[in-house]
Amino acid sequence: MNKYVIVAETGADIPNEIVNRYQIKIVPMHVSFGTETKDDMTFPITDIFDYYQKTGTLPKTSGSTPADFETVFNEIHAENPDAHILHLAYSAITTCSYQSAIIAAEELDYVTSIDTKCVSAGQAFLVLTVAEWLEKNPEAPLEEVKETVIDLINKIHMGFIPGDLVYLKAGGRVSNAAYLGAKILNLSPVIEIVDGKLMSAKKYRGSIMTSGMKLIKEFSETHHLKKDRAVFVYSGELNPLLKEKAEKTAKECGYESCMWIQAGCVVSTHSGPGAFGIIGFSE
């Protein structure tokens, strides 16, 4: 039995093969379509886009509840009472999930929750990296594990270009004037995750094909990203031409391999379909 069991939320968008490979436990976040609330990942991502097209209103996302965490923590402890639960939480500044986990684990000395300050594929890549490290260091003491996680949090960077600014406008993250200006000038803003918050960084002119390749080159250089693995995130359907161009650009930048992660429902309510981004760790 594993000494550590990793827990993360559905909003981390961790691919199933990684969840199964490292026996990661997933806690549901929630999405409300008007008066109907559903657990994240229990419906197609396209339902998000269809709902907005039909109603002109974005679904509302909400974090995991203390009860959600209690259920998962209890299941893990019943199966493996000697394991320490390592909860790598969705950005605490954007959702209540981290605080919910703290409440659920208030009297449980076998649970550690850490705010990853990441969302979506950024959180997924962090979780994967921690899981790989734990596989190589299965007997590491808890303090060393925590120090390793914090170090990775301080080094991870994620930037993406929304597929459709209308989703950011509908969610109140860009003003109507900024939205109209970007549409007229054909500008694509880069959204970076900074200390857990979605922040507008620079802007590129041109299509996602053009601006996406600029993002790969400049983001990699600006943050001095490690070149062992380029991790790309996309929302909606992955354009085969975009995939081909991105992997070619990554190779030209010196990356050894590429990994693709589809954005789930939570972040797709902000990015819209057709978003593209890159995640990596600084040297």
Average pLDDT, 10 consecutive residues per value, the chain (283 residues): 93 98 98 95 94 91 97 97 98 96 97 98 98 97 98 97 68 44 58 87 85 97 97 95 98 98 90 92 96
For the chain, give the number of residues.
283
Position 168 scores a pLDDT of: 61
Position 180 scores a pLDDT of: 39
Position 276 scores a pLDDT of: 96
Position 186 scores a pLDDT of: 53
Give the span between the Cα atoms of 169 and 15, in whole angstroms: 29
Please state the pTM of the whole predicted model: 0.93
171, exposed or middle or buried, with CB in 10 Å at 0-12, 13-18, 19+?
middle
Question: Which architecture, in CATH terms, is 4-153?
Answer: 3-Layer(aba) Sandwich (3.40)
Give the start-to-end residue ranges of the domains of the chain.
Answer: 4-153, 157-281
137, exposed or middle or buried, with CB in 10 Å at 0-12, 13-18, 19+?
middle
Question: Which architecture, in CATH terms, is 157-281?
Answer: 2-Layer Sandwich (3.30)
Position 167 scores a pLDDT of: 62
Position 205 scores a pLDDT of: 83
166, exposed or middle or buried, with CB in 10 Å at 0-12, 13-18, 19+?
middle
Give the span between the Cα atoms of 107 and 221, in whole angstroms: 45
Alpha carbon distances (Å) from 9 to 43, 123, 153, 235:
16, 9, 17, 18
Contact 193, 158 (CB under 8 A): yes
